[in-house]
Structure 1
Amino acid sequence: MKKSLKLITLATTLYVSLLSLAQAKLEEIDRVAAIVNSGVVLESEVQDLVNNIKLQAQKDNQALPSDRVLRTQVVDKLINDSLMTQLGERMGVKVSDAQLDETLTNMARESGMTLEQMQVSINDSGANYETYRESVRTELIAGEVRRASVRRRIYISPQEVDNLIEAMKEQSANSEEYRLGHILIEFPAKATQEDMNNAKVRADKTIELLNKGSDFAKIAITASSDANALNGGDMGWKAITELPSLFSEVIEGKDKGEIIGPIRTGLGYSIIKILDIRGRQITEIEEVDSRHILIKPSIILSEAKAEQTLIDIREKIVSGEATFGEMAKEHSEGPTGVKGGELGWAEPSNYDPAFSEALAKLQIGEVSQPFRSSFGWHIAELTGRRNIDATTQMNTNRAYQMIFNRKFGIESARWLKETRDEAYIEIYDVEE
């Protein structure tokens, strides 16, 4: 009995000793590394991030600074993350599990993996997937908080955008080349006013013929006094800086196929056609013209009934019993119903994905079968499709974005410094 008691006592003492050691170790790991306003950064968070960085650096064969410098950088980042998270809570910024999973799925796809494969890869590398997952959530929240806070500090004037567009034009002009056709209606030697007037009449008549579709080269060979007349007036490819200033000024910003003139010079009246352009960045976008009828399911109108109603409406339209506009005005629940369902010209990407996909399958004049979007059940008719030159708008957007990005970087650093200066931050040294 005494021997049994001794064994129990020894076992209990050993268990307590081990428990004390484990608790001491846990306290060592989970002690507070920094206080950030009402939040804390734990030593376990610091160690997790340090270890993850070391694993990634080892994988990429990348050198790292000393452990102390690395720890300082890690603590600094975690302090910023804590500040962003607290600001996000006050601003109501949230990232749902569904949004987070979608982001992670996209990240996995960019790496050529499925989400499940990425999870296995992270765990196999020695990191913890759940920790990684939450770090991505933190980054998304921090990004949204930063954008929302910094965006309102940035002002971009129209003049700034215009100035940058002009600078971009000057740069692109150096790479642009034009192939011009030239017809010269020449003044006779010692021309009188009557000679000049007659030349103007001939030039105007030439412009009229060209605008009606007459062949430029044929008229140049017949009527032009220019040295290139026998070549159909073709001046060949020239950079804009190689052209006479009078020509370069009038063709700037013009498009291929445009006819310009008559332009009076010392020799007579010049007529120019832009035969071709190369080196110019042109952005075209597709627009569609369409109309639709929308029926929204409700408590009293089931999904199946909404779909069947549109099937019946489509049959009336296709058979000629009713027009699309009439049916839209009578049945459509969308705001365009009163206009016969007309949506006007728009980029397909502006629409709900299901709506955009349905339009992409249609020929002009064709009415779709009923389909479901996030708004309800639709039938749609494609009434037109066109490509438009969106270069000017794209250049404006590009110039604005370039200025915004430049200012955002500067303002973001200022805002973060101000946020940290206003916060209560206390960092505990690792040796304390």
Structure 2
Amino acid sequence: MKAGNLRNPRLAPLLALVMALVLTPLAHAEVKPLARIVAVVNDDAIMSTELDDRVRQVRSQLQSRNVPMPDDSELRHQVLQRMITEQIELQMAQRANLSVSDTQLNKALRSIAQNNDMTLDQFSQHLQKQGLSLGDVREQVRRELLINQVQQHEVAGQVNITDREVDQYLQNAGANANVQYHLGHILIAVPEAPTPQQAQAAKQKAQQLRERIESGKASFEQVAASQSDGSNALDGGDLGWRSGAELPTVFSDVVPDMSVGDVSQPIRSPSGYHLVKLLDKRGGGSADQQRDQVRRRLFERKVNDQLEAWTQEIRASAYIDNRLDEHGNTAGSSQ
């Protein structure tokens, strides 16, 4: 039995990003440098002006969440990696003739406006005052909805949860079935078939990052934003609240034994090495809703387990020419 639609792991951060932009004044007189190609993704190019705009948006988002700002070059690399993955997914959407209706777009935009305590008309007027247009925001949301459709078709649509799986989880979880965890996450990815040297290098990097966090040299959120390969990196690694059933399989044996504030040792999975921080912990919902909640959460856990592996697969099969150097500049650029 299918448990339902995949909740887009990037749509909620996008809505938060848009809200951060609404509340952040922009420099209207800024002079933009000459556009350069920063990456080629199959037949498409990502321009430096697009990257600059996206980095500016992510900075606003991080500031609104009080996440310490990563190094500029690290942030540019992180944002570009996200943009490359999105471009591949959008190309898949185009090949599959996927589309987003005006009704879907308007519903998403109304949600953004309501989260800002505005009507859609008020939201549009406020965007204009900030140097933004409703059309630009509509395009951002349209892209995210298309990406969600691709993920739904390629990953979530292939996931099924049986009654037996629900029964087994409830039996194993016992009194902890409704416990929820607020988690932070850092992923150091490895290739699809890593050599022993590549796996060891990723493990050492994860250990070094953990030591950096534990020593107080950087916060978990700052390290996630600058170093993590996970889809939530630019949100400071915040995975939000999850029940035990929603935990990725590789975390389920570790997180329940952690105390609030703990950062795990590196955890191995096919995707790489993970660091998990337990930000908070609380009781779950009512017993009457338990079975439906477990079915939905088991579904989401399966999807999350498969999503990062799928992302690596589509990147491995694409032609990608990343032209940023170690300082976050393109060849011949003096940014």
Instruction: Tell me the TM-score normalized by structure 1.
Output: 0.40
Q: CA deviation at 1:168?
A: 5.4
Residue 85, structure 1, aligned to residue 90, structure 2: yes
CA contact (8 A) 2:38 2:330 kept: no
CA distance in 2, matches of 1:126, 1:61: 24
Residue 409, structure 1, aligned to residue 304, structure 2: yes
Give the counterpart letter for 1:407 in structure 2. Answer: K
Give the counterpart letter for 2:154 in structure 1. Answer: S
Give the counterpart letter for 1:412 in structure 2. Answer: L
Match of 2:105 in 1: 100
Give the counterpart letter for 1:69 in structure 2. Answer: E
**Mapping of 1:368-379 within 5 angstroms?**
none
Match of 1:366 in 2: none
Deviations 1:172-206 (A, max 9, x none): 89xxxxxxxxxxxxxxxxxxxxxxxxxxxxxxxxx
Residue 141, structure 1, aligned to residue 36, structure 2: no
Q: CA deviation at 1:153?
A: 4.0
Residue 161, structure 1, aligned to residue 166, structure 2: yes
Give the counterpart letter for 1:89 in structure 2. Answer: Q
**Mapping of 1:18-417 within 5 angstroms?**
29-167=34-172, 170=175, 281=286, 391=288, 394-417=289-312
Quick check: which has more Rg, 1 or 2?
A: 1
Does the C-alpha gap of structure 1 residues 400 and 32 become closer, same or farther in structure 2, counting only changes over 3 Å? same
Does the C-alpha gap of structure 1 residues 71 and 128 become closer, same or farther in structure 2, counting only changes over 3 Å? farther
CA distance in 2, matches of 1:56, 1:115: 21
The SS at the match of 1:41 is strand
CA distance in 2, matches of 1:406, 1:172: 14
Deviations 1:256-282 (A, max 9, x none): xxxxxxxxxxxxxxxxxxxxxxxx946
Q: CA deviation at 1:408?
A: 1.0
Q: CA deviation at 1:58?
A: 4.3
Give the counterpart letter for 1:398 in structure 2. Answer: Q
Does the C-alpha gap of structure 1 residues 405 and 60 become closer, same or farther in structure 2, counting only changes over 3 Å? closer
CA contact (8 A) 1:154 1:411 kept: no
Higher RCO (Cα < 8 Å, 6 or more apart): 2
Deviations 1:319-356 (A, max 9, x none): xxxxxxxxxxxxxxxxxxxxxxxxxxxxxxxxxxxxxx
CA contact (8 A) 2:170 2:177 kept: no
CA contact (8 A) 1:94 1:141 kept: yes
Match of 1:379 in 2: none
CA contact (8 A) 1:153 1:411 kept: no
5+ residue gaps, structure 2: 1-30, 179-284
Q: CA deviation at 1:402?
A: 1.5
Residue 426, structure 1, aligned to residue 321, structure 2: yes
CA distance in 2, matches of 1:60, 1:123: 24
Q: Which has the higher strand share?
A: 1
CA distance in 2, matches of 1:398, 1:428: 45
Give the counterpart letter for 1:67 in structure 2. Answer: D
For the aligned residue pairs, the C-alpha RMSD in angstroms reads 2.8
Does the C-alpha gap of structure 1 residues 114 and 162 become closer, same or farther in structure 2, counting only changes over 3 Å? same
Does the C-alpha gap of structure 1 residues 59 and 414 become closer, same or farther in structure 2, counting only changes over 3 Å? closer
Q: CA deviation at 1:152?
A: 4.0
Deviations 1:30-89 (A, max 9, x none): 322111112221212111111222334445554211111111111111111111111111
Q: Could you tell me the percent identity over the aligned residues?
A: 27
Does the C-alpha gap of structure 1 residues 397 and 62 become closer, same or farther in structure 2, counting only changes over 3 Å? closer
CA distance in 2, matches of 1:117, 1:98: 19
CA contact (8 A) 1:32 1:42 kept: yes
CA distance in 2, matches of 1:92, 1:121: 34
CA distance in 1, matches of 2:297, 2:62: 32
CA contact (8 A) 2:63 2:69 kept: no
CA contact (8 A) 2:40 2:322 kept: yes
CA contact (8 A) 2:54 2:79 kept: yes
Does the C-alpha gap of structure 1 residues 137 and 124 become closer, same or farther in structure 2, counting only changes over 3 Å? same
CA distance in 2, matches of 1:172, 1:72: 39
Instruction: Tell me the TM-score normalized by structure 2.
Output: 0.51
Q: CA deviation at 1:421?
A: 0.6
CA contact (8 A) 1:55 1:126 kept: no
The SS at the match of 2:38 is strand
CA contact (8 A) 2:100 2:145 kept: yes
The SS at the match of 1:166 is helix
5+ residue gaps, structure 1: 1-24, 174-279, 283-390
